[in-house]
Structure 1
Amino acid sequence: MKIAVVGGGSTYTPELVDGLAALPITELTLTDPASDRLAVVGAMAARMFAKAGHPGTVRWTTDLADAVEGASAVLLQLRVGGQRARLADETWPLECGCVGQETTGAGGLAKALRTVPEVLRIAERVRALAPGTWIVDFTNPVGIVTRALLDAGHRAVGLCNVAIGFQRLFARLLGVAPADLTLDHVGLNHLTWERAAWVDGTDRLPELLSGHPGELTEETELPADLVRGLGVVPSYYLRYYYTHDEVVAEQRRGPKRAEQVLDLERRLLAMYPDLSEKPALLEQRGGAHYSTAAVDLLTSLLGDRGDTQVVNLRNGGTLPFLPDSAVIEVPARITAAGLVPLPVRPVEPLFSGLIAHVTAYEELALSAALHGGRARVEAALLAHPLVGRYDLARRLTDRLLAANRDHLPWAA
């Protein structure tokens, strides 16, 4: 079984490799255009496999075709423009009084515009050289990227670590094994709520809300009274909606997350040549439980386990207030033949309204990413609930295009 990782030069790859070392892989191939980083990370990945006693081969190459040919699964974790582009996404929206973030708002749109064309180019190579293989997307914004892949006819699924993070947190707080706790997780990527936490047929979420407000506040970075009032646990990313102005003020004080990650990457790359296991410093890079989620999904897709995991997939009527073609993030049954979303109980208006609003934005964002054009960018921003004003959408469009001319040929 060959697994290919596109974006394998990422400093986060050792986290993924740590999990993949538990799978019966015959070949793990990392590919990345950044040859210097790739050589450092690839050599470390090989040492990690060796230390784990894994018989599989680890290779790294800048040749995409070589990497994906014959792969059983291809994992996407690329970042077009690198952390410098991310820093821009986190900076110029603040000039207009908006959240600067790489997966939502104006910065998230900029990342989608840069990312979707490149992901589709890669996916076409996969289709030609490994027909029928699964493409697992970790690349943000996951919902929009997964929708682009599915619309183009690829066998794709999107994955995020939010749900598995909450599952682990709730299990720890309740003193149960994570496998014994099931979430009622609903929404879109980076726009989700935990509406129940089932253990042995009993919903333990009320107990969590009343007995662990401090831990939930720390995890979500939202006020405890807001979380209690909602009666659910929102994802961390809901803070950009529920406490927008406070977040903007915080971001203006700095430092930017991209600046912190740039420093972490410098330190990690200096450490990696001497390591054969992931360092504790890597935990500060973000993405807790990322490798666990990846391994679980790959095991089910390739081994046909038929278990339930939270993934990003077609709506297909699961949420009746959304188009069937939308991509949602809900529990689904995972088999080698495909993904089947589990039934979802009616979604409360406070949540369904925002889900529908952001879904409309995502459809417009995908159109802008596929076809370009200032008017499409303005329309997507106008539709986003964090923007929503024409004058603001125009100013943000000016800044977005100016910051991304090197990545958007049609914007030059």
Structure 2
Amino acid sequence: MQEVKWGEFKIGDLFDINRGNISNQKELIHDSKGICFIAQNNNNNGFVDTVKPQNHKIFKGNSLIIGRQTGIVYYQEKDFITTDGVLVLTAKENFIENKNTGLVFVSALNKKMLSFGYNNTVSEAKLNKIKIKLPIKNDTIDFNFMENFIAELEAERIAELEAYLSVTGLKDYTLTKEEQQALDDFEKLKFRKFNVIDIFDVKNTGNILSRDIVENSGKTPYLCASITNNAVSSYISYDEKYLDKGNCIFIGGKTFTVTYQEKDFYSNDSHNLALYLKKEEKNKSNYLYLATCINKSLKHKYSWGDSISNKKIQIDKIFLPVNNYQPYYDAMETFISAIQKLVIRDVILYADKKIAATKTIVNKNN
């Protein structure tokens, strides 16, 4: 990277800019074999669902999208349709041939999007004037460098992941008999309603405004009501009298974001809730299972205009698996252990596949 030469390029010179033509998402019809529907979501790369293609403008893969209100840039690998709130950037000379190249453009463009948001929406006219920095060779964009750099960077991260899995013992993803049985018996579990306050002690969290913190000033999680990054907005150092105890379920009050928090934390809003299990055995696996139960049982009740509160949750009920009419905590723990192993298995297989693919790309371009 120290030896790379950089050039500036206007977005309008590199891309054709268009907008989606979907104004009413409710008219879309789900189809598992249909086309990707993309919206200006802040997660899942903008993907919402696969739907039946109707009279919608279809955009080719290897394109970039930008949410007009969010300013967030994503790379889209497959053909897709999108809303009129999304701008689509299609390379004029089809120079984005794969994900690695697309990700470089995403990174370069995201750095220019910081000033955009709901009060300063992105438009075609504004984009056309923006310049981004790209690696060059012989005064032209160095696409080989982009592809190799991203491939090697990904391989490095995957190698670190493999090392971590080995050290922590997570690379063993073989299910025990009990775990396999828990998966097989899941559909047979009986559930019944419980009062939230019979299962948890509920308290409001502390309240530290974002304007009063210094981002990345410490090692303690600073939580907000966001679904991304497990609700962690930053890691800060602050007055410990505002610290909330971890090993609990955290609910973002205004958005009903439900997460498990292992460590002590600070919160950005006193409307957020912390739920602590009353039972003696308070392990992570049980909390993860219970967080999903809370989300499934209550999410339909609450919205931004009718948010959850400590007062409201006092009469709320959640569905839990039972054994002899009591919460079946052993089944919860074993089931989560099995799910974790299945996820780890997929991660390890993905890592092995990506390392092999990276070696092929690097060897091809060298």
Larger relative contact order (C-alpha < 8 A, sep ≥ 6)? 1
TM-score by length of 2: 0.25
TM-score by length of 1: 0.23
Structure in which a larger fraction of residues adopt strand: 2
User: Whose radius of gyration is greater, 1 or 2?
Assistant: 2
